Structure 1
Amino acid sequence: MSNRTRTAVILAAGTGSRLRPYTDSVPKPLVEVNGTPILHNALHQLSELGICEATIVVGYRKESIEQSCGRRFEEVEIEYVHNPIFDRTSSAYSLWLARNTMLAGDTVFLEGDVFFEREVLERTLRTVSATKKNVAAVAAFTEAMSGSAVELAEDHSVSTFVMNQTPAQAQARSLFKTINLTRFSAAALHDRLVPALHRAVESGYHIAYVEQILSLLVESRELQLSAADCSDTRWFEIDSEADLRLAEEIFGLPPALASPGASSVSLAAGARR
């Protein structure tokens, strides 16, 4: 890759309560899809594309993640940051805990419950240019998705975030689902995102999601966020047992059969939040 991004932050602190009983014994990022833990897949894809350092924010059953991934996974050197109040905070707080990593340079941000193929990350990084420095992976909203979405402008930049969408609402507006994999420039992190996270934490707003912080920055035009359309790729955010079964089916199929639009199974590739 010509892109110079070499660092990632992965959020892996949550309890994964909707995925019980699997998460009674292991944290959600270590739940396996066809024999591969979700987090191992993410680290493998990062390694394949030249990301050589990762900070993983851990909380629930953190020792399991540290033992499973170690201090090095393939070509990725790993540091861990502990969220001691993981059961009372949301993703924005966990991301704020990794601020030292983000302040050091360009960073790929992803959540530790997304199982994705290499093309998702590769396309996101490939979209980065002199005019598109902050890029979010997105996909067309399908019948199996719900939760937060984004509206895209004609230049494929994110114009607004729209929370709590049903499939009918999102499809009526031609919204796209965020894949929770985003590349940020050093400048955007230093000048925009980290200060915004800090303001939220300082004000006691510990239950904010990252999407809510990004929404404020995008709509105030403090942050320009471009989109990498990954509608034809395989990815899945795993929140429940039903998600897990569908992810196993999607990733158990040959890529040509599992890409969105090619089969009814793949139409569920998406997230709920």
Structure 2
Amino acid sequence: MKLVIIAAGQGSRLRTETKSKPKALTTINGSTIIDIILNNCRVNEINDILIITGHDRSSIEKYLKGKWTDLNIEFMYNEDWRLENGLSVLKAKSAISKNEEFMISMSDHLYFPDLMNKVKKSSLSATVANVGLDFNINDIFDIDDGMKVIVRSKTMLVEAMSKKLSKYNAIDVGLFKCSYNFFSFLESLNKAGSCSLSVGCNLLIEQKLLGGVDIEDSFWLDIDTPESLHFSRNNDTISKLIREQDLN
């Protein structure tokens, strides 16, 4: 299985903290987010990683040069990185074999091997894509900015997804498992002039093809604002979880 990491964006909301470097290189307690994600891959035996770059691509490539040599890391440049993030996913199509399942990760979401494993082992027998979901909505940091989801508990089919939902029972954690068919949905959006990952998910929802994966008590955090970055650097749970990882 291959992991596609979306690392093309500029991260404008974090610019005051990152000095415009890619969010994947943001450091938390001595470790970058990209290193933590790659360690998740190593633990879960996901050896093939495709990193979709855009803004300041050379920084990510230079940082990872000579590191994680036990993993097969490839880079692909999205020249349209200023546009919607679904285009970064579409860039990966040429690197994915037909009938191959793959995963998608945001490069600014902090999570650990246990969460990745739960999404990885989920079944796509009745869906085109599955997304990790956090049902502990009272514990979400900055829930106003979260991607809100309504999911049917018995079938775990997602029925609605939007940041604007007033009623919801879960939050999207930014980690997906997909079949190759997901590309056809994104291509149809691109032809219509819009290609965001969330709109692609809503196309799946219309056809009852987006599943949810309960991450239970696994930790995660979306780090895309100065407030969330400060929280991550001053949280004892996060510090402990990072120390437990083999990031050498």
Alpha carbons of structure 1 residues 51 and 72: separation in structure 2 relative to 1, 3 Å: farther
Matched, 1:120 2:115: yes
Distance in 2 between residues matched to 1:119 and 1:239, nearest whole Å: 22
Q: Any residues of structure 2 matched to 1:1-273 within 5 Å, and which?
A: 6-70=1-65, 73-87=68-82, 89-104=83-98, 105-128=100-123, 134-140=129-135, 141-142=137-138, 144-146=142-144, 147-165=146-164, 169=166, 173-185=167-179, 189-190=180-181, 193-205=182-194, 208-221=195-208, 223=209, 225-250=210-235, 251-254=237-240
Equivalent residue letter for 1:23: T
- Conserved in 2, the CA contact under 8 Å of 1:71 and 1:78? no
| Offset of residue 241 of structure 1 | 1.1
After the TM superposition, list the runs of 4 or more consecutive aligned residues in structure 1 that deviate by more than 6 angstroms: none
Deviation of 1:215 (Å): 1.0
Q: How high is the sequence identity, in percent, across the aligned residues?
A: 20
Displacement of 1:79 in angstroms is 1.0
In the TM superposition, what is the alpha-carbon distance from 1:84 to its structure 2 partner? 1.3
Instruction: Report the Cα distance in structure 1 between the residues aligned to 2:183 and 2:67, rounded to whole angstroms.
Output: 26
Please say if residues 71 and 79 of structure 1, whose CA atoms lie closer than 8 Å, have aligned partners that are also in contact.
no
SS at match of 1:21: helix
Letter in 2 for 1:160: E
Structure 2: 5+ residue runs without aligned partners? Answer: 242-248
CA contact (8 A) 1:138 1:230 kept: yes
Cα deviation, 1:18-51, whole Å, max 9, x if unaligned, reads 0012332521110111111111111110111100
Q: Scaled by the length of structure 1, what TM-score is found? A: 0.78
Q: Is the partner of 2:217 in helix, strand or coil?
A: coil
**Contact 2:80 2:87 survives alignment (8 Å):** no
Separation in 2, partners of 1:176, 1:118: 21
Letter in 2 for 1:38: I
Amino acid at match of 1:86: W
Question: How many residues align structurally?
Answer: 235
| Alpha-carbon displacement from aligned partner over 1:176-222 (angstroms, at most 9, x marks no partner) | 1111101123xxx23xx1111112222322xx42121111122123x
Residues 22 and 182 (structure 1), Cα distance of their counterparts in 2 relative to 1, 3 Å cut: same
**CA distance in structure 2 between the partners assigned to 1:125 and 1:158 by the alignment:** 17
CA contact 1:161–1:211 (8 Å) conserved in 2: no
Q: Distance in 2 between matches of 1:218 and 1:129?
A: 14
